[in-house]
């Protein structure tokens, strides 16, 4: 979790977030929405080096629907070899919708866990309170699901420390630093450095950045010893004015950058070892 890790050549976990729950095919027709097309794109990304897929469900009209996570998980397992499924427990305000992500059969090896509320646009507010965060963390621990702790802004890092103090997390802590607009952390190299310098001991960090910030900030992360998430949930464009053709196009570019940086991507089994997933 430092520049030393980069110099040591430690492997990088590459996560693909194919879909999300906000924008749809109206924003980019190449965005996968239904289980079969999500699984097809995840399989292509696994071949290129993705060890984890971050998963959302959509209904038949493309609207966010956590109840479809089971169908998406099943389709991914049918199409893929060994990629780690990380279901979302975000994107919803109601707890019963959030909890769908950790009650699939079988349960996922990983799940995201938002560290608090945030604004997602003029008319979208994601509510999340400490009580529900602890309920989710407790159930994840009971079921052996590794949480990815979603830090959307600096204040959410305080909540990571608070959750560690509750004893509901197992080391190493896996912290996802998120940069973008609204109430996300302001996207800049200086803010990346600041958040990384304040991470708790015995943690691994992942980084995602939205839109045009995805490429520069995810290139910075592995130099600091971190891991990387890319995909069309976070960025619909390959470059300015050029919509992404697929999630694989974004994963392929990042894998090539890691190769140029002399950082090997972790296989799913190596990612399990890094994160302490049994």
> How far is residue 134 from each of residues 96, 100, 173, 207, measured CA to CA in Å?
14, 16, 15, 23
Q: For every one of its 278 residues, what pLDDT tens digit does the chain have, with 9 covering 90 and above?
A: 688 988 898 999 999 999 998 899 999 999 999 999 999 999 999 999 999 999 999 999 999 899 999 999 999 999 999 999 999 998 766 888 899 999 999 999 999 999 987 776 655 667 788 999 999 999 999 999 999 999 999 999 999 999 999 999 999 999 999 999 888 999 999 999 999 999 999 999 999 999 999 999 999 999 999 999 999 999 999 999 999 999 999 999 999 999 999 999 999 999 999 999 98
Q: Is 217 exposed, middle or buried (0-12, 13-18, 19+ CB in 10 A)?
A: buried
Q: What angle do CA 98, 99, 103 make, to 5 degrees?
A: 140
Domains (ranges, CATH) in the chain? 3-275 (3.20.20.70)
Question: Model-level pTM?
Answer: 0.96
| Calpha distance 240→251 (Å, rounded) | 17
Q: What angle do CA 205, 207, 213 make, to 5 degrees?
A: 160
> How far is residue 271 from each of residues 54, 95, 227, 240, measured CA to CA in Å?
14, 29, 10, 32
């Amino acid at each position: 979790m430092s520049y030393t890790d980069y110099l040591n050549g430690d492997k990088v976990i590459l996560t693909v977030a194919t879909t999300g729950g906000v924008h749809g095919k109206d924003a980019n027709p190449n965005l996968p929405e239904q289980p079969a097309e999500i699984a097809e794109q995840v399989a292509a990304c696994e071949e290129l080096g993705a060890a984890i897929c971050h998963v959302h469900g959509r209904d038949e009209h493309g609207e966010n629907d956590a109840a479809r996570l089971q169908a998406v998980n099943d389709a991914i397992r049918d199409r893929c070899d060994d990629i780690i499924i990380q279901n979302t427990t975000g994107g919803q305000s109601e707890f019963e919708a959030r909890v769908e992500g950790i009650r699939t059969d079988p349960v996922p090896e990983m799940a995201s866990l938002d560290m608090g509320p945030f604004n997602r646009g003029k008319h979208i507010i994601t509510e999340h309170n400490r009580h529900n965060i602890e309920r989710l963390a407790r159930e994840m621990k009971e079921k052996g699901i590794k949480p990815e702790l979603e830090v959307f802004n600096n204040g959410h890092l305080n909540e990571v420390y608070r959750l560690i103090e509750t004893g509901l997390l197992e080391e190493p802590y896996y912290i996802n630093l998120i940069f973008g607009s609204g109430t996300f952390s302001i996207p800049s190299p200086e803010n990346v450095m600041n958040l990384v310098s304040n991470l708790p001991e015995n943690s691994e960090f992942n980084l995602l950045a939205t839109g045009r910030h995805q490429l520069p900030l995810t290139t910075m992360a592995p130099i600091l010893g971190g891991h990387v998430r890319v995909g069309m949930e976070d960025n619909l464009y390959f470059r300015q004015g050029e919509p992404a053709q697929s999630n694989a196009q974004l994963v392929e570019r990042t894998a090539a950058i890691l190769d140029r940086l002399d950082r090997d991507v972790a296989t799913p089994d190596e990612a399990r070892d890094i994160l302490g997933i049994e």
